[in-house]
Amino acid sequence: MSETTAESQDPPTEIRVLHVDDDPDIVELTASFLTRFDDAFSVYTSTDPEAALGRIEGERIDCVVSDYEMPVMDGLELLERVRESDRNVPFILFTGRGSEAIASKAISAGVTDYLQKETGTEQYTVLANRIKNAVEQVRSQRALAESQRRLSRFIDQSPLGTIEYDETFTIVRVNEAATEITGYEAEELVGGTWLPIVPEEGYRHVAEIERQLLADRGGYQSVNDIVRKNGERRLCSWHNRVVTGEDGDILSIFSQFEDVTEEEQRRTQLERTNILRSTLFETLPVGVLAEDADRNVLRVNERFLELFDVSAEPEDVIEDDCEAFAARVSGLFAEPEGFVSRINELIDAREPVWNDELVLDDGRAFERNYRPIELPDGSGHLWVYYDVTERKERERRLEALNETARELMTAESCEEVAEIGVDAAKTIIGLDANVVNLYRGGEGLVPVAATETARELVGELPTFAEGEGIAWRVFEDGEAKSVDDIQADPDVYNPETPIRSEMYVPLDEYGILIAGSPTPDAFDDEDVVLSEILGINIVTALEQVRRNERIRERERELTRQNARLEEFASVVSHDLRNPLNVASGRLDLAREDCDSEQLEYVADAHGRMGELIDDLLTLARERDTDVEPTSVELASFVRSCWGNVDTGDAAFTVDVEGTVDADETQLRQLFENLLRNAVEHGGDAVRVGTLEDGDGFYVEDDGPGIPPDERGDIFEYGYSTTPGGTGFGLSIAKQCVEAHGWEIRVTDGADGGARFEISGVTVGDAE
């Protein structure tokens, strides 16, 4: 079995590809073209599907590329085994045996893609593009899932009732606020539809909203009644939104709502007491404008004029018609005509409208509510405007933090992660003075990244030793904290600092994010929450960096071990065998000159040295030998192996039938070593048979056996209980077994001797 890597280091956006094909030339050629196409590819190759499965289970693989027709396991069988350990890794069938039947089977089996091998090199460009597309799709899905996980706790804590639907409008989740508003427990709603909470006369309206959401893939606002579990009706304001993936597929549908019954009652009462003359009209914290049926201004409050930067008193705009008033505020819009036409659309519908969005050229964001009203002299129009700039800014920050999460995951070092985190804290959250301290063993919390403002305020950034300062206290507690005045805190690190307030966000065991300000009470709850989200993203990125560092170190260590092993094999095969050959030749000459029994001892020593060299070479080189399985008929093969061993007078019984797919050279090494071991350890009778469950075969003798407390050592290098034994025979046998993906164990034989059982072997019928 041979496995190589086409890349020695992880590139910035590494894609780890495992290519499985029984033709070593194909896998090497494919690896060369893929890495030449894009240095982001790290290609791992294997000609043994079983060994490839071990790699998939042991480390991260981003995409598997497999041949279809392979001796031990075809590509679709490999796919089935891969899916047992990783259901999501992309699997591309890259085969020379193409047909509609195979393609159909591949698609039915769930392959990610199917590509037939062709002559020329263009096929490798196609393969590279399909690998990148498949991996990028899986990564996008994972990133989306992680983003949804991070945001879920904010949905759960939202004061708005939230219902999450799947694409069939089946409820999959409700938060606590939703259960309080509807009166239902979560388990009573999840798995059902909106029918229990919608009055019967509202079915058609809600169904139409459902249709529009699915058709437009967007949002929808409405105000309508719900029916609580106890039968009580409540008026609720709804904000519906369809969440889609990059491909346009629906991921989730969210409905957020709040009980506005009391609010509506207040509005109704306000109309009944003549809103135009109410003192409340002037004191409302929102902008209010009332028009008559001809669109002339009847009343406007000062807050409305402030929102639109109108330099006039409320009475100055009374009786302005719509066009005249629009001219007063036209400087706030790139297209004033659009402002007017949207108002006309809302009025023409003659239905109440809630939370219609309006964005000014200066970046401020408003939401407006519209309601037709009845006046003593006819109908009219009531407009209410809310400044939602801060709320929109929070939403923008959350979206920017999600983008930062993707950037963080591309970082290759902890220092780079810290730099990205510091920049995000400044540009997204507005923490102009912030620093990331990472924990460095005995040094403590060491500053590794900071803004220029932080350096100007503090000067030389401090390292916090164990138990030192507020930073260490929060790092140990593991909970984010803002301190309104650090001078009043007994753990203040530097009483002379110009910093007055600070915020601390622990980064798990990796360190801490610190933000400071020269003014007290500089940080609010929103700053803390957003910083915690950023902290979660930083920790995730640091964990990935550490994992990548461990992977690279393991790869470097494996390279060093292979180099030492190759050097050892070279010494054994050349530097030791040559002197031994010279010594053997000199011994033959010495025998011609004199007849001494001492020379026989020398000859025995030479023979033992030769055996040790052979066994050492086998251990060193069989480790990297390709397993080239062929069909072997067991009975005749075992008898030929018995004939190659010095068995003396020992009796031999072959009770095994059928065939196995195995490398003949290694299978012969396995049987000869086990048979030689049985004879050398006192066995007068040796038997080879099939395991009772048909899962393999065994070799047993009637010798003294192996004590249970020594069975864990017998496969160790150099272990032997026979004078003159090399101690490598059973180690080599185990190596041959593992090369085929089998297992070996020792137990008691039927007649009290030792029994070696080789399992995990598929024994076929004899040909």
Per-residue model confidence (pLDDT) at position 561: 67
Per-residue model confidence (pLDDT) at position 626: 60
CATH of 158-259, one of 3.30.450.20, 3.20.20.60, 3.40.1280.10, 1.10.3720.10: 3.30.450.20
pLDDT score of 612 more than 70: no
- Structure confidence at residue 3 as a pLDDT band (50, 70, 90): very low
pLDDT (mean) for 568-594: 67
CA dist 309 and 307 (Å) reads: 6
pLDDT score of 30 more than 90: no
Residue of 616, 620, 646, 617 lying closest to 718 (CA atoms): 616
Strands 41-46 and 15-20, sheet pairing: parallel
The residue type of 362 is: D
- Domain span(s) for CATH 3.30.450.20 in the chain: 158-259, 264-387
Q: Are 223 and 237 in contact (CB under 8 A)?
A: yes
Give 323 or 276, the one with higher predicted confidence. Answer: 323
Q: Are 310 and 324 in contact (CB under 8 A)?
A: no
Phi, psi of 745 (to 5 degrees): -145, 160
Q: Which two tokens stand for residue 402?
A: 């999600």
pLDDT score of 623 more than 70: no
For 755, other C-beta atoms within 10 Å of its C-beta total 21
pLDDT score of 141 more than 70: yes
For 673, other C-beta atoms within 10 Å of its C-beta total 25
Angle between helices 75-85 and 100-109 (to 10 degrees): 10
pLDDT score of 11 more than 50: no
- Structure confidence at residue 566 as a pLDDT band (50, 70, 90): low
pLDDT (mean) for 635-640: 90
Q: Which two tokens stand for residue 60?
A: 């991260």
pLDDT score of 686 more than 70: yes
Q: Are 685 and 651 in contact (CB under 8 A)?
A: yes
- Domain span(s) for CATH 3.30.450.40 in the chain: 393-549
- Structure confidence at residue 569 as a pLDDT band (50, 70, 90): low
- Any bridge partners for residue 516, and if so which? 433, 502
Considering just the CA atoms, what is the radius of gyration of the chain in Å? 39
Please report which helix (H) or strand (E) contains residue 359, including its range.
strand 353-359
- Structure confidence at residue 57 as a pLDDT band (50, 70, 90): confident
pLDDT (mean) for 472-483: 93
CA dist 755 and 688 (Å) reads: 10
Per-residue model confidence (pLDDT) at position 235: 93
Average pLDDT over the chain reads 83
Per-residue model confidence (pLDDT) at position 6: 41
> 256 in helix, strand or coil?
strand
Q: What is the pLDDT of residues 424-463, one digit of tens each?
A: 999 888 899 999 999 998 899 999 999 999 999 999 999 9
Helix runs in 310-459, H state only: 322-328, 336-349, 389-408, 414-427, 452-458
pLDDT (mean) for 283-310: 83
pLDDT score of 227 more than 80: yes
Q: Are 92 and 111 in contact (CB under 8 A)?
A: yes
pLDDT (mean) for 263-276: 68
pLDDT (mean) for 474-493: 92
Lowest mean pLDDT among 98-112, 222-236, 722-736: 722-736
Q: Which two tokens stand for residue 295?
A: 């669109």
Question: What fold characterizes domain 3-148?
Answer: Rossmann fold (3.40.50)
Question: What fold characterizes domain 393-549?
Answer: Beta-Lactamase (3.30.450)
CA dist list (Å): 286 to 313, 320, 384, 385: 16, 21, 7, 6
The residue type of 107 is: I
Q: Can you give the three-state secondary structure of 414-443, one letter per residue? A: HHHHHHHHHHHHHHCCCCCEEEEEEECHHH
CA dist 153 and 136 (Å) reads: 27
| Global pTM value | 0.41
Q: Are 754 and 746 in contact (CB under 8 A)?
A: yes
CATH of 621-759, one of 3.30.565.10, 3.40.50.300, 3.40.50.740, 2.170.130.10: 3.30.565.10
For 702, other C-beta atoms within 10 Å of its C-beta total 20
Q: Which two tokens stand for residue 725?
A: 């034994």
Q: Are 37 and 75 in contact (CB under 8 A)?
A: no
- Domain span(s) for CATH 3.30.565.10 in the chain: 621-759
Give 637 or 9, the one with higher predicted confidence. Answer: 637
Q: Are 432 and 426 in contact (CB under 8 A)?
A: yes
Per-residue model confidence (pLDDT) at position 604: 62
- Domain span(s) for CATH 3.40.50.2300 in the chain: 3-148
Within 13 Å and on the Cβ side, how many CA atoms surround 307? 25
Within 13 Å and on the Cβ side, how many CA atoms surround 316? 7
What homologous superfamily does CATH list for 264-387?
PAS domain (3.30.450.20)
CA dist 681 and 161 (Å) reads: 78
Q: Which two tokens stand for residue 442?
A: 């005995």
Q: Are 103 and 114 in contact (CB under 8 A)?
A: yes
